Amino acid sequence: MAEKEVLERVKAVTARVLGLDTAKIAESSNFIYDLGAESSQSLELVAAFEEEFDIEMEEDAALAVQTVGDAAKFIAKYL
């Protein structure tokens, strides 16, 4: 799967979980500082990414990812 496609799917999942418009989510957006994700939503995001991409991620490493672009790169390693 192309990295651009992974990024678009990460944006879509992020928008759904956080209740945002995908147009407001940039590759450089920080989940906490730019998108307002709370700690419980961070766990929801990890679960949603695992479901979307049918993967199992190491939770501590996944929670350390801070930006949308970094999440796409992190997920691409599992695909």
- 3-78: in CATH 3.40.50.720: no
pLDDT at residue 3 in the model: 86
* Predicted confidence (pLDDT) per residue in 33-49, tens digit: 999 999 999 999 999 99
pTM: 0.95
CA dihedral 43, 49, 51, 54 (to 10 degrees): -130
* Predicted confidence (pLDDT) per residue in 3-28, tens digit: 899 999 999 999 999 999 999 999 99
pLDDT at residue 4 in the model: 93
Mean pLDDT (the chain) is 96
Q: Which residues have CB under 8 Å from 47's CB, separation 6+?
A: none
Distance of CA 68 to the CA centre of its chain: 5
